[in-house]
């Protein structure tokens, strides 16, 4: 048996629970934050649960945290003292290791301290036990979730929690002159799928306007062909490496094997998207990578995802499907051309 906190994008936690139910028979749930955070009890031990999740990672499960300790919240200074003592007693887990502290507070929690104040206190305790408090690239994470009347505490490596950000909420700083927030989706996809866009040469951006994804690829040094009947942001005209085609994707054709990267973030129906992407298959080099968002516009997202996977499987191998933090009513696919 093992206890866990699961987190998904609101309101998709029911789908994360359904996916977990398929990979862990007998799992049970308690809702902590409606549509987003839930506790689940696995009949498997910790290692077997992690193995089951890793072998078939749920699309909608953004973050997972083991529950190694539980503290009843009193609403006063005793909470912080109990939390500090819990970390001291587990000193061998952190000694000599770079350790990050992630604190999340549920709406309506009776825990009185802010995430920042809690982290500052626990960082001081880590120094006492010869650990190195860090923010980035930790060896191990202390994850603390303050529910209504309980503190749930878990220790684990970043890959075990599916993210090295608190609750999997990946944050990027908005840049001056940034064309759109859609750029964050492509940045998060790069991190999540272990890519480096600078390693590609020629990119095809379908449904590019206003140009958030195109701008990132141009910044990384790629030559980009952007296809959209709408106009791109004027700032992109400064790039000599950009070819802008003001056409529908169904109206363009290219020499075979032209592109080693295809990206697509269109607000179209999933089936129309599949048809457009597969029709452009000859323009992609063998082994080309594709990053595609799938809009979940219907009430049966799992069925939509199954149908999209089936249609795209004629051309691509699916490397990973994930609802990223910056996705809303959509998921992102990482594909490779057969």
CA distance 173 to 186: 14
Among the listed residues 103, 244, 97, the one whose alpha carbon sits nearest the alpha carbon of residue 166: 103
Tell the residue number behind the tokens 């290791």, with chain if given. Answer: 97
Alpha-helical (H) ranges within 90-157 are 91-94, 115-128
SS3 164: coil
CA atoms within 13 A on the CB side of 84: 16
Instruction: Based on the residue annotation, tell me whether 247 is a catalytic residue of this protein.
Output: no
Cross-strand pairs, 6? 38, 64
CA distance 144 to 294: 32
Catalytic member of 119, 295, 322, 337? 295
Cross-strand pairs, 225? 204, 243
CA distances from 167 to 68, 162, 163, 324 (A): 16, 9, 8, 12
SS3 271: helix
Alpha-helical (H) ranges within the chain are 13-23, 46-55, 77-89, 91-94, 115-128, 182-192, 212-219, 270-279, 301-312
Report the relative pairing of strands 98-105 and 150-156 from DSSP bridges.
unpaired
Among the listed residues 157, 171, 163, 254, the one whose alpha carbon sits nearest the alpha carbon of residue 205: 254
Residue numbers annotated as active site: 295
């Amino acid at each position: 048996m093992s206890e866990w906190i699961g987190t998904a994008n609101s309101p998709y936690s029911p789908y994360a629970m359904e996916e977990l139910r398929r990979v862990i028979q007998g799992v049970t749930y308690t809702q902590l934050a409606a549509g987003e955070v839930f506790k689940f009890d696995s009949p498997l031990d910790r290692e077997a649960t992690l193995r089951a999740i890793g072998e078939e990672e749920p699309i909608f499960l953004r973050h997972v945290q083991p529950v190694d300790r539980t503290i009843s919240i009193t609403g006063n200074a005793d909470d912080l003292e109990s939390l500090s003592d819990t970390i001291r007693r587990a000193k061998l887990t952190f000694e000599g290791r770079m350790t990050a502290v992630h604190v999340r507070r549920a709406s309506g929690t009776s825990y009185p301290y802010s995430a920042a104040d809690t982290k500052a206190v626990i960082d001081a305790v880590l120094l006492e036990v010869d650990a190195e408090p860090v923010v980035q690239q930790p060896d191990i994470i202390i994850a603390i979730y303050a529910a209504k009347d309980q503190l749930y505490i878990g220790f684990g490596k970043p890959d075990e929690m599916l993210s090295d950000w608190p609750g999997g909420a990946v944050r990027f700083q908005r840049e001056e002159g940034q064309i759109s927030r859609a750029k964050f989706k492509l940045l998060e996809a790069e991190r999540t799928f272990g890519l480096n866009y600078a390693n590609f040469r020629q990119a095809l951006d379908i449904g590019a306007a206003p140009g958030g994804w195109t701008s990132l690829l141009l910044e990384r040094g790629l030559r980009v062909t952007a296809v959209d009947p709408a106009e791109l942001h004027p700032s992109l005209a400064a790039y000599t490496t950009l070819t802008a085609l003001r056409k529908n994707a169904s109206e363009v054709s290219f020499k075979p094997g032209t592109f080693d990267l295809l990206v697509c973030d269109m607000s179209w129906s999933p089936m129309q998207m599949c048809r457009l992407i597969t029709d452009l298959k000859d323009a992609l080099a063998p082994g080309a990578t594709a990053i595609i968002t799938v809009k979940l516009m219907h009430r049966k997202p799992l069925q939509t995802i199954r149908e999209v996977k089936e249609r795209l499987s004629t051309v691509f191998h699916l490397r990973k499907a994930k609802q990223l933090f910056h996705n809303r009513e959509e998921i992102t696919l990482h594909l490779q051309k057969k």
